[in-house]
Structure 1
Amino acid sequence: MNEWLIDQRTRLGLGQDEVDRRTRDLGARVSQPYLSQLERGVKALEDLGGARMDALRRVYQVSPEAWTDHTGLAIVTPQQGPRPAASPAPAPLPDGLQQVIQQYGAVFSELQEHRWQHYLARLKWRGGLATPDQWFNVFQAMRANGIEPDH
């Protein structure tokens, strides 16, 4: 599948940085380092989550049907509506966590993974809302200690 991703990007004459910019403009950024890991097969495409996967599909100008044919992954787009068996949409990420993802996501690609974002977002903090520094510190501690969120 990683070769197909590379073929789609090069077919359009796009560099990884341009794909990064275009997906960011669509509101669901796939960073250049993360795209590189996808293309090398280091990261799994399904870890992108629906919004980022759809942004990548749109940048590559591939129909939802062709995307599913080549990747085996269906994407729910606003035009299609929700699938009957779809799970409920996840709760929005806390502001402090969103700030950490924006600030450090290019350096720590795990922060851009759906599984990390929602694993972190499920944490409960004593005393209310966590600051961006607290979110980043807990992410760093979990990563340093080999904690891997479920898919």
Structure 2
Amino acid sequence: MRKFWHRGKFHLSALMMLVPLPFLPNYFSPKPIFAPPEIRRDVSAGPFPITLVTHDESPHRAGNGEWMKEYHVHLRPADIDKVRGVFLRVGKPRNLRAAGALSFGNPYEREAEVAVPAEPAGTEELWVTVEDWSGRIHQTSTPLAGFLGGKR
């Protein structure tokens, strides 16, 4: 019986090494397994076409009490080296210092967390400000209604 148990432990440990194999394709896929649906908007700020993407989830409350919404910013690969920064803000920015949340992360998929109103009226706009390396500023806006996602 003791010899059987030692042999069984060896085979059991080999079997435990094989159990995760069916889950590896999902682990290495670029998209999360249980991702909520996405909302996409295409805008153009000057010569730069931009795709804005957000999950269809309601905004979350940040530590300072503001409602925040995460947006992903996709630039064309040809424009990545030309763009210095992409800023997102609800409401028209007064100047570049108040341009909003600076997008960060991977140059191909940048992220920005934007403060959104607690009770949207439906007339708000999400402003996109793009600064290129020569210092020129390009702005555009898109209606926030239907692009906020989810329900609170």
Instruction: Work out whether the TM-score is over 0.5.
Output: no
* TM-score calculated relative to the size of structure 1: 0.22
Specify which structure has the higher proportion of helix. 1
- Tell which has more relative contact order, 1 or 2 (C-alpha 8 A, sep 6+): 2
Structure of greater Rg: 2
Specify which structure has the higher proportion of strand. 2
